[in-house]
Amino acid sequence: MGNLKNIIGASGEYLCGIELMRPVIASACLPRGFLPGEGGCLFEALHFGGKEPTYDYVVYLLDATARRLAPFFFLQVKTTLKPPDITGAYAMRFSAAAVARAHAMKTPFFVGLVDRSSARREKIYVKGIAARQSKGIASLAPLHDLAEDAVKIAIYNEVCRVWALRNNPSLTQLI
């Protein structure tokens, strides 16, 4: 197989980043500041490249003028050429150690799965890492399709909610 596995993985990472930065269409459910009838880009996805053990992207939330806001999240992308199993779920590997590293970041964290089993008909599904999750993730049900604007808006709102609940103490040293 040689380098093919890395190329397949990288292609899924790029497809996921492109989909994240695709503008949402106008909707009544757009975040505050976005004008109904206009839509806009909700995210700026910065790819780390290489073989990071836990994450592939840091994704910044954008305001209606496409400026970065303070909230962000991390995203790990997995890519598969295999279709879902008979239950409809995709096999994937996100270990318990990776879940622990995700929690240690104290930042919203999502896993994305890119289904490349049908040529030029890729699907991208996302799943958040729950605060109480301790086990690894062995499969991902295709519940949250990233191509749907409602899913992007839900991610945006959830990340905003989590950041609003944060209580980060101010620095007192080296300032």
| Rounded percentage of the chain residues whose pLDDT exceeds 90 | 59
- The mean pLDDT of the chain is 88
Rounded Cα–Cα distance for residues 160 and 133 (Å): 21
Mapped to the 3 state alphabet, what secondary structure does 92-161 carry? EEECHHHHHHHHHCCCCEEEEEEECCCCCCCEEEEEECCCCCCCCEEEECCCCECCCHHHHHHHHHHHHH
Strand partners for 75: 57, 110
Predicted confidence band of residue 1 (pLDDT cuts 50, 70, 90): low
Number of other CB atoms surrounding residue 111 within 10 Å: 23
Does the pLDDT value for residue 89 go beyond 70?
A: yes
Rounded Cα–Cα distance for residues 108 and 126 (Å): 13
Q: Which residues of 114-126 are buried (b: 16+ CB within 10 A; e: fewer)?
A: bbbeeeeebbbbb
Q: pLDDT, tens digit, for every residue of 57-69?
A: 999 999 888 899 9
Most confident of 24-28, 31-35, 101-105: 101-105
Look at residue 48 and give its three-state secondary structure: coil
What pLDDT is attached to residue 35?
63
Rounded Cα–Cα distance for residues 96 and 88 (Å): 23
**Which tokens hold the place of 161?**
């909610």
